[in-house]
């Protein structure tokens, strides 16, 4: 079973949040140290998986953000008359 890139992002984020909570609660230094090293390894794996993922899209920078689209110049000209 292949783990998707977004699953790696979730696993790494969850692990680092648990690590931060553990450090704030005063876990032993040795546990925090080894978990930090493991967390750094997870970050490297996560970045590699995200960058090598076969994700494709038809969007370009001209599309800008989907949640607040910016009208293109030709669309503005057509609506102005």
Q: What pLDDT digit, counting tens, does each position of 16-54 carry?
A: 999 999 999 999 999 999 999 999 999 999 999 999 988
Average pLDDT, integer, range 7-23: 96
CB 8 within 8 A of CB 50: yes
Kindly list the distances between the CA atom of residue 77 and the CA atoms of 10, 61, 73, 80, in Å, as whole numbers in the listed order: 44, 21, 6, 5
Q: Supply the pLDDT for residue 49.
A: 93
Sign of CA dihedral 10, 12, 13, 14: positive
Q: Where residue 79 falls among pLDDT bands split at 50, 70, 90?
A: low
Residue pLDDT, tens place only, 57-70: 787 776 666 666 66
pLDDT of residue 42: 96
Instruction: Report the pLDDT averaged over residues 9-20.
Output: 96
């Amino acid at each position: 079973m292949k783990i998707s890139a977004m699953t790696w992002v979730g696993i790494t984020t969850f692990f680092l949040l648990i690590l931060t909570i553990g450090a704030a609660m005063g876990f032993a230094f040795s546990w925090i140290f080894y978990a930090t090293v493991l967390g750094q390894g997870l970050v490297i794996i996560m970045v590699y998986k995200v960058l090598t993922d076969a994700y494709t899209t038809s969007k370009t920078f001209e599309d800008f953000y989907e949640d607040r689209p910016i009208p293109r110049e030709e669309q503005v000209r057509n609506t102005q008359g």
